[in-house]
Chains A and B, each alone.
Chain A
Amino acid sequence: MNLDSLFLSLRLAATVAILLLVIAMPLAYWLAFSRWRGKFFLESIVALPLVLPPTVLGFYALIALGPRGPIGQVWQSLFGHRLAFTFTGLVLASLVYSLPFAVQPLIASFESLDRRLLDASSVLGAGRVRTFLRVILPLSWSGLVTALVLSFAHTLGEFGVVLMVGGNLPGITRTVSIDIYDRAQALDYSGAHHVALLLLLISFVVLSLVYAINRRVWSPWTVR
């Protein structure tokens, strides 16, 4: 069984999940705590990938990343090669595609925090950064893990966006879901089944992890 496509997908999912956490944390912090009236605007942009068909997202991503697209052009002038149909292009498109899965759990976590804890921190002399690192982050631990795992799992299973932006280049952009599709199309049902089952198991383990964490099975400070 050729597992190249699975490893490629895992690499893509891990890269996207980690990058997304870095991007989503300040974004979610701002969305949770800002008093700006227009923030609903940004909220809906962040949530857009949830409702858009992946092909729509993929189509616009392809145009943006393509050699004549704004991002593609800048990229080409900086690095001298194209962005569409590359692993980097896949990462960029996936960042947008999985953004809500990282941002939403973080917002939920931040908003459920007792505001008085943040007040207490600032009255005790801590600035925003210190409050974020010492109070908000440790208490949003489960939201953090949920964000990481959900964006990982969501990227792992993506199909439409990858097909539009990445095409189907073995070892470069042929992810596991495209691989399964290919095999099924070629009537290689047993090959498709092996990979599909593996993906099913991985997804199940990942989701169990999220739910266990949200039930605070291993939460370090839960004392009842």
Chain B
Amino acid sequence: MDGEVTPLMLQVAVRKQFRTAGAPAFDLRVTQEFAPGVTVLFGPSGAGKSTLLDCIAGLQTPDSGRIALGEEIFFDANQKISLPPQRRRIAYVFQSLALFPHLSVEDNVAYGLCSNAHSLRDLRVTQILDAFHITSLRRRKPPELSGGEKQRVALARSLVTKPRVLLLDEPLTGLDLLLRRAILQDLRAWNDANRIPVLYVTHNREELDAVGERVVALLQGRVLESGASRDVLDAPRSLALARAAGFENVMPVTVLETRPGDGVMRVVLTPSNCELEIPLGPNEAGSRLQVAIRAGDILLATQAPHFLSARNVLPGTLESLESRGPLVIAQVNTGARFIVHITPGAVRSLQLSAGCAVWLVLKTHSCHLVSS
């Protein structure tokens, strides 16, 4: 049982419907392969991320489909195969962590090692406690632990079993930045040593950038997009994903003209007459689209800028400034309303205040065409 773990592809093709009285039925339909390494499941709450993980772990039974790791079938509706969770050797760290409150850290971590000989078990527990820097906690019980310590114990408890697949459902929610970075570092080190499919659910962009090699974006039970993290989230192709990925400006536009020679098209922001130059899409003049722009990708100037490579310079009025720690959120009205992120230092040196005349500068490639 305890031999080396060979990395295998996790193939998932599942359908699961929920019919709740009153609420519209939820319908999960996912067909996706998960290669060894970290894949981030990204999407708003209610997108079906936890249901998908539950199906893979065997805690929920899909209505139809197939789940397999390499040659081994976990679930196959046609062949009527459904391996119980305890026989799948999948590790699953829940959002609530679900540490056993009556067992010490040591016993929690050893829980999944019941079939091993005592000496081997102790050795593995000691090793994993050490790897996650929680050796000093081994005799404590979960209610005596801090949030970060609990998260480490939960990870250690799952990983000590040498799982073949690792499922992580927002395991680091509620932790501060430094703690999250430290735990992510331990997790990355573990992942480099044990290449297995890891599915990591998070809403947090920073966690995603830190661990995610690939992203699968889920929305309302469907896979919207999948691919390398940067491709999917920095240039989202759909409205819902743009919102989920934290694009502050998502606005409707109408195409005025396409200029295939320049690789651009001119659009007008639809209630206003602000014009923008955006990357060329497959659309014709007159079609209505959505454009997503990150608030941090917009430059703000207090004088009309000249001699720029950026093609879009929009005059407008600064309507409000709202300070949020190291960030100031500026609302600018150019006919259309833009949200722009600037630093407190920029507010001071440019002497910005509500009512100022400002110019927004947008690079063509900061404007992402999304479909609704």
Q: Which residues of A contact B (CB under 8 A)?
A: 114, 116-117, 119-127, 130, 134-135, 138-139, 220-223
Q: When A and B form their complex, what is the total count of cross-chain residue pairs whose Cβ atoms lie within 8 Å?
A: 71
> How far is A139 from B103 in the complex, measured between Cα atoms in Å?
10
B111 touches A119 (CB 8 A): no
A223 touches B96 (CB 8 A): no
Apart from A119-B92, A123-B85, A125-B87, list 20 A-B contacts with CB within 8 A: A117-B100, A119-B59, A119-B98, A120-B92, A120-B98, A123-B90, A123-B91, A124-B91, A124-B111, A124-B112, A125-B89, A125-B114, A125-B115, A125-B161, A126-B114, A139-B101, A221-B101, A221-B143, A222-B143, A223-B141
* Distance from A136 Cβ to chain B, minimum over Cβ atoms (Å): 11
Main secondary structure, interface of A, reads helix
Q: A223-B143, A223-B144 are in contact. Are A122 and B96 (CB under 8 A)?
A: no
Q: Does B94 interact with chain A (Cβ within 8 Å)?
A: yes
Contacting residues, chain A, for B89 (C-beta < 8 A): 125
A117 touches B98 (CB 8 A): yes
B94 touches A116 (CB 8 A): yes
| 28 intermolecular pairs with C-beta atoms under 8 Å apart | A116-B98, A117-B98, A119-B59, A119-B85, A119-B92, A121-B100, A122-B58, A122-B85, A122-B86, A123-B58, A123-B85, A123-B86, A123-B90, A124-B86, A124-B91, A124-B111, A124-B157, A125-B86, A125-B87, A125-B89, A125-B114, A126-B86, A134-B100, A139-B101, A221-B101, A221-B102, A221-B143, A223-B144
> How far is A122 from B111 in the complex, measured between Cα atoms in Å?
10
Q: Does B57 interact with chain A (Cβ within 8 Å)?
A: yes
- Residue from B57, B111, B141, B158 having most chain A Cβ neighbours under 10 A: B111
Contacting residues, chain B, for A120 (C-beta < 8 A): 92, 94, 98-100
Q: Does B305 interact with chain A (Cβ within 8 Å)?
A: no
Contacting residues, chain B, for A125 (C-beta < 8 A): 86-87, 89, 112, 114-115, 161
B103-114 vs A, CB cutoff 8 Å, 1 = contact: the mask equals 000000001101
| Closest B residue, CB atoms, query A116 | B98
Q: Does B260 interact with chain A (Cβ within 8 Å)?
A: no
| Closest A residue, CB atoms, query B59 | A119
From A127, A135, A222, give the contact of B86 (CB < 8 A).
Answer: A127
